[in-house]
């Protein structure tokens, strides 16, 4: 019990004289809860009297002074649990577990209560999930709703929430969506049908010296942001279009590839885009988690040479590439890729405008980027 509570009240509570303690607290503080300690003492007294609702009322008053007080949250969860309001108990216990996860030091009484809290939380969470799953079984159509299924994983704590966090420029109002279904793009089927043509052109230049490290030291900014694959041959690129310019001779050798993606709304910005490249992740390669520069574009992958155990994670969803199956995702959300095979992985990458941007917004963004790029030239 908090030491700021008068000793006589503490003695009454320790002796189990809860009615007397409740009356003394009420008289001494004139029916008010002036601070956290008084609220806790009153809650203990009311709970001992069997008045759970009054105890919860006292705790709510106490928590107005310290919303994250662990003693108050634990006691509130215990009262809800004992009175069969287990969903509310689970919410209180969840708050406790979240707070202690980042705490560096805890009082002994809190530390000793954690195993019970953790056990009760998982007991209620398991029962609640079983109840929900049983209820949803009668609605089998929910299994065919990917976004609903993702929401369920988030609710159950089986997945974390990831948001668009571009490193350079954030355009508000665009959805925080990890992967985009191909059905949203009327050009997707044409690109996938061109897989053989694109792979053939890649193979025709595969012995050239066009592949180079994707991350190169001379491209780094003045702060020298060091990438784990800087100047590494683990992750290589062969550009057909770079900063909006054709890269000879590879663009000429892959004219069929460029013709196939010419019908795509590529993110064309003078001096910056679009880009189109063959990306190679060699055996054992891992591209560490990172975020792209802008959320105004989406990244498209057309897998061409894909051994087993080659995957892409965007946010909380992991995708395994399949040859010829287009993958469209928002690279402003944290993502990573790996090749756990003993062979190379090759894909075609190109970027498109975010489909939620209208023509005027695209033009404004283009003008913004161009003005940034010409700042020093006009100085």
pLDDT at 225 over 70: no
Residues 93 and 239 in one domain: no
Residues 91 and 212 in one domain: no
Last residue of a domain, one of 106, 130, 154: 130
The pLDDT score that the predictor gives to residue 377 is: 58
Residues 125 and 184 in one domain: no
Residue 212, domain member (yes or no): yes
Residue 322, domain member (yes or no): yes
Residues 336 and 219 in one domain: yes
* Number of domains making up the chain: 2
pLDDT at 201 over 70: yes
- CA gap 350, 71 in Å, rounded: 54
Q: How many CA atoms lie within 13 A of 228 on its CB side?
A: 9
158-164: Cβ within 8 A, 24+ apart:
159/316, 159/317, 160/315, 160/316, 161/316, 162/314, 162/315, 162/316, 162/333, 162/334, 163/333, 164/295, 164/330, 164/332, 164/333
Residues 315 and 209 in one domain: yes
- CA gap 39, 35 in Å, rounded: 6
* Residue reference for tokens 């469209």: 328
Mean pLDDT to the nearest integer, 82-99:
94
Last residue of a domain, one of 101, 130, 159: 130
Residue 194, domain member (yes or no): yes
Residues 124 and 184 in one domain: no
Band of residue 234 on the pLDDT scale cut at 50, 70, 90: confident
Residue 159, domain member (yes or no): no
Structure tokens, 375: 């700042």
Provide the CATH number for the domain around residue 238. Answer: 2.60.120.330
pLDDT at 21 over 90: yes
Q: How many CA atoms lie within 13 A of 205 on its CB side?
A: 24
Residues 237 and 324 in one domain: yes
What digits encode the pLDDT tens for the residues 323-358? Answer: 999 999 999 999 999 999 999 999 999 999 999 999
Question: 305 vs 90, 137, 151, 310, 314, CA distance in Å?
Answer: 48, 40, 33, 10, 20
pLDDT at 172 over 90: yes
Residues 125 and 241 in one domain: no
Residue 378, domain member (yes or no): no
Structure tokens, 102: 């980042």
Tell which wins on pLDDT, 208 or 48: 48
Residues 118 and 186 in one domain: no
The pLDDT score that the predictor gives to residue 129 is: 85
What digits encode the pLDDT tens for the residues 241-271? Answer: 999 999 989 999 999 999 999 999 999 998 8
Residues 251 and 311 in one domain: yes
Residue 108, domain member (yes or no): yes
Beta-bridged to residue 335, according to DSSP, are 290, 314
Residue 12, domain member (yes or no): yes
Residues 126 and 184 in one domain: no
Determine which of 82-91, 216-225, 264-273, 345-354 has the lowest per-residue pLDDT on average. Answer: 216-225
Residues 196 and 275 in one domain: yes
What digits encode the pLDDT tens for the residues 362-372? Answer: 999 999 988 88
Provide the CATH number for the domain around residue 37. Answer: 1.25.40.10
- Nearest Cα to Cα of residue 337 among 379, 280, 375: 280
Whether 179 contacts 317, CB under 8 Å = yes
The pLDDT score that the predictor gives to residue 130 is: 86
Structure tokens, 360: 């005027």
Tell which wins on pLDDT, 370 or 155: 370
**Domain limits at 63?**
7-130
pLDDT at 23 over 50: yes
Band of residue 226 on the pLDDT scale cut at 50, 70, 90: very low
pTM for the model: 0.73
The pLDDT score that the predictor gives to residue 207 is: 62
Residue 148, domain member (yes or no): no
- CA gap 211, 220 in Å, rounded: 19
């Amino acid at each position: 019990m908090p030491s700021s509570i008068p000793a006589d009240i503490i003695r009454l509570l320790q002796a189990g004289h809860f009615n007397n303690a409740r009356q003394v607290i009420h008289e001494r503080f004139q029916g008010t809860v002036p601070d956290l300690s008084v609220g806790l003492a009153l809650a203990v007294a009311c709970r001992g009297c069997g008045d759970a609702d009054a105890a919860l009322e006292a705790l709510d008053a106490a928590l107005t002074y310290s919303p994250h007080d662990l003693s108050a949250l634990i006691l509130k969860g215990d009262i809800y649990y004992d009175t069969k309001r287990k969903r509310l108990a689970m919410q209180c216990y969840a708050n406790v577990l979240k707070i202690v996860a980042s705490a560096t030091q805890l009082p002994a009484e809190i530390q000793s209560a954690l195993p019970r809290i953790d056990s009760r939380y998982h007991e209620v969470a398991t029962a609640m999930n079983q109840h929900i799953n049983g209820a949803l079984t009668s609605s089998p159509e929910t299994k065919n709703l990917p976004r609903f299924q993702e929401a369920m994983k988030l609710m159950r704590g089986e997945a974390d929430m990831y948001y668009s966090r571009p490193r350079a420029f954030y355009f508000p109002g665009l959805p925080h969506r990890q992967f985009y279904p191909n059905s949203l793009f009327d050009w997707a089927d044409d690109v996938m049908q061109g897989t053989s043509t694109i792979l053939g052109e890649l193979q025709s230049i595969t012995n050239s010296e066009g592949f180079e490290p994707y991350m190169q030291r001379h491209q780094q900014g003045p702060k020298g942001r060091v990438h784990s694959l800087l100047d590494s041959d683990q992750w290589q690129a062969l550009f057909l279009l770079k900063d909006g310019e054709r890269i000879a001779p590879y663009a000429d050798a892959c004219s069929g590839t460029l013709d196939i993606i010419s019908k795509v709304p590529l993110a064309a910005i003078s001096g910056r885009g679009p880009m189109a490249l063959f990306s190679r992740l060699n055996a054992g390669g891992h591209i560490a988690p990172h975020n792209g520069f802008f959320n105004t574009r989406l990244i498209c992958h057309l897998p061409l040479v894909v051994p087993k155990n080659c995957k892409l994670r965007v946010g909380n969803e992991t995708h395994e590439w399949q040859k010829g199956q287009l993958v469209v995702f928002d690279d402003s959300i944290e993502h990573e890729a790996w090749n756990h095979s003993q062979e190379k992985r090759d894909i075609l990458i190109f970027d498109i405008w975010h489909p939620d941007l209208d023509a005027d917004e695209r033009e404004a963004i283009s003008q913004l980027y161009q003005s940034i790029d010409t700042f020093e030239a006009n100085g």
